[in-house]
Amino acid sequence: MPDPLASRGWSVSAVILAVLAGGAYLSLTSGMFDLTFAEMVKTLLRIDPVKEHDLVVFDFRLPRIVLSALVGAALGMAGTVIQGVTRNGLADPGILGINAGAGLAVVLFMFFFQGSMQIKGWMAVMIMPMFGLVGGFMAVLLIYLFSQQNGRLDPQRLILVGIAIASGFGAATLYVSLKMNPNDFEMAAVWLAGSIYNANWKYVLTMLPWLIILPPILWWKSRSLDLIQLGEDSAISLGVKVERDKHILLLCSIGLVAASVAVSGSIGFVGLIAPHMARRLVGLNHTNILPVSGLIGAAMVVWGDYVGKTIFAPAELAAGIVISIIGVPYFVFLLLKMKR
């Protein structure tokens, strides 16, 4: 007999994919240089290629759409895991301090090295994301160091330590950024707001390994995530190696967040909103929640980036700001709902 929840998951996924495809279509065809549907199809299928169309689609718009989808999917799945492990519906990847750690590392790079390093080719594109990745994992090391209690990882302590580390790194980032020259400060501010404006295929290739390797591990451990919701003692009695699985789940989600922040800056609220929407749509089974949450996150960032680059054209609004405008009221709504 077919599982009705699985069938519902496929149906919901199909609808979200349609929404995602709609955002991708509008992002491909709309902008300072508009394309018709026929021109877009001909360009993608390499039928009578036009140099200007190739430049707009393949060099500017398509990598931006693909990177938006990858970052959103990573943040959505990471948020699901973090909320599941901490059993806190208000947990978000940003509160663990990973975004703040990556942000501080990138701002330090801009302050000390931007403009003084004559690096070309792949390294010129990748060195800032590499700094962001290192900063994110440094924050993780501090979180793990202070979140251990009696040899166990305490989920509530994890959140409190994450908030403290995020506040500390945020203050340090603000101090360093105020010492920067105006051009570097403007670039840092745009990056910290969560922007996809400088997307390119090298960034996409940097994100792909994380999206290929880590989500299958999370999906494989989704049953453990379901049982952890019953309480750690209950999960242990059902045969779950709770401490080991918590470490695996958190490290995988942290890897996804760090990789995302390294290429797009700090995009908040995706990891908070996407899991809640997924649970409402497909129930409490994490086997279904994880992929649906990833799709919702991808759709959120693609649409957020589209709105940000068109609503104030020719100026651009960072995707992170657009999503935050939606996310703050939603966060308040969740707080009020949990108080009832």
Please check whether residue 108 is in contact with residue 131, taking contact to mean a CB–CB distance below 8 angstroms: yes
- 241 phi/psi in degrees, rounded to 5: -85, 85
Q: Decide if pLDDT at 1 tops 60.
A: no
Mean pLDDT on 93-114: 81
Q: Which among 243, 250, 252, 245 has a CA at the least distance from the CA of 224?
A: 245
How many whole angstroms separate alpha carbon 154 and alpha carbon 143? Answer: 11
Residues 19-28 have pLDDT tens digits of: 999 999 999 9
Residues 236-241, mean pLDDT to the nearest whole number: 81
- Interval 149-189: pLDDT, tens: 777 777 778 888 888 888 899 899 889 888 888 777 877 78
Tell me, rounded to whole angstroms, the distance of Cα 172 from its chain centroid.
23
Please tell me the predicted confidence (pLDDT) of residue 114. 62
Domain ranges in the chain? 4-339
The gap from C-alpha 176 to its chain's centroid, in whole angstroms, comes to 25
CA separation for the pair 258, 210 (Å, rounded)? 10
Mean pLDDT of 89-105: 82
Report the residue count for the chain. Answer: 340
Residue 6 pLDDT class (50, 70, 90 cuts): low
Mean per-residue pLDDT over the chain, rounded:
84
Domain 4-339 of CATH type 1.10.3470.10? yes
CA distance 226 to 311: 41
Contact yes or no for 161/143 (Cβ under 8 A): yes
Q: What percentage of the chain reaches a pLDDT higher than 90?
A: 21
pLDDT score recorded for residue 24: 94
Rounded average pLDDT over 4-10? 72
Q: Span 65-73, mean pLDDT?
A: 95
Q: Are 83 and 293 in contact (CB under 8 A)?
A: no
**pLDDT value for 2:** 52
Residues 208-233: pLDDT tens digits?
888 999 999 999 988 888 888 888 77
160 vs 20, 79, 254, 330, 338, CA distance in Å?
35, 16, 16, 22, 19
Please write the tens of the pLDDT for every residue from 183-207: 778 777 877 888 887 788 888 988 8
Which distant-in-sequence residues (6+ apart) come within 8 Å of 325 by Cβ? none
Contact 214, 256 (CB under 8 A): yes
Q: What is d(CA 20, CA 294) in angstroms, rounded to the nearest whole number? A: 11
